[in-house]
């Protein structure tokens, strides 16, 4: 799952996959702005066939998003 999310991040912003770790901050480390996060959430919903509540979690790190997706898939 982490590898799939890394690929989405790479495809969306061109961030080197080696720079994406579980502790990476979307804003500070990867340069995501609010619009980038909305797009990533939409892409993750499609990739993992889940629904992420628009008023739901505020993902600060890649690890937080991975944990959320894992719980949704259980």
For the question of residue 33 being annotated catalytic, the response is yes
Choose, from 28, 33, 49, 58, the residue flagged as catalytic.
33
DSSP 56: S
Burial of 54 (0-12, 13-18, 19+ CB in 10 A): exposed
Catalytic residues: 33
């Amino acid at each position: 799952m982490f590898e799939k999310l890394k690929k989405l991040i790479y495809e969306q912003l061109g961030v080197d996959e080696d720079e994406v770790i579980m502790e990476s901050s979307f804003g500070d480390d990867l340069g995501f702005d609010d619009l980038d996060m909305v797009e990533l959430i939409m892409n993750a919903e499609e990739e993992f066939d889940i629904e992420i509540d628009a008023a739901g979690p505020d993902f600060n790190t890649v690890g937080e998003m991975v944990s959320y997706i894992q719980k949704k898939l259980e």
